């Protein structure tokens, strides 16, 4: 079953997150996961370690909106058990 795909808006936010020198590694991990799932024929899902990092990004008050958007996209693509 194909996975969900990252929207253009979320992909743009993920790109900004990856390019930022001040962004934490957990945010960059979530952004990378979101960007990996931008293809039309996406068969990928967010891994458990990436989902954990995305969750931490969302709960960290220091995370910017681009990081949180990328993390949100990555979490929404986590395969449910």
| Domain spans in the chain, listed from the N-terminal domain onward | 8-76
Greater pLDDT, 9 or 4: 9
Query: Is the pLDDT confidence value at 1 over 60?
Result: no
Q: Which of 2, 20, 4, 1 is nearest to 77 (CA)?
A: 4
* C-beta separation of 6 from 34 below 8 A: yes
Question: Quick one: average pLDDT of 25-46?
Answer: 79
Percentage with pLDDT > 90 across the chain: 10
Reported as a single tens digit per residue, the pLDDT across 38-62 is 776 666 778 888 889 889 999 998 9
Greater pLDDT, 44 or 17: 17
Q: What is the largest CA-CA distance in the chain?
A: 37
Please give the C-alpha separations between residue 16 and each of 21, 30, 74, 78, in angstroms, as whole numbers.
10, 12, 15, 22
């Amino acid at each position: 079953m194909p996975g969900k795909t990252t929207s253009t808006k979320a992909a743009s936010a993920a790109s900004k997150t990856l390019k930022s020198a001040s962004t934490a590694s957990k945010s960059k991990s979530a952004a990378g996961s979101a960007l990996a799932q931008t293809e039309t024929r996406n068969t990928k899902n967010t891994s458990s370690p990436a989902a954990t990092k995305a969750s931490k990004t969302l709960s960290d008050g220091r995370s910017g909106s681009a990081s949180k958007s990328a993390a949100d996209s990555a979490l929404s693509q986590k395969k449910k058990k």
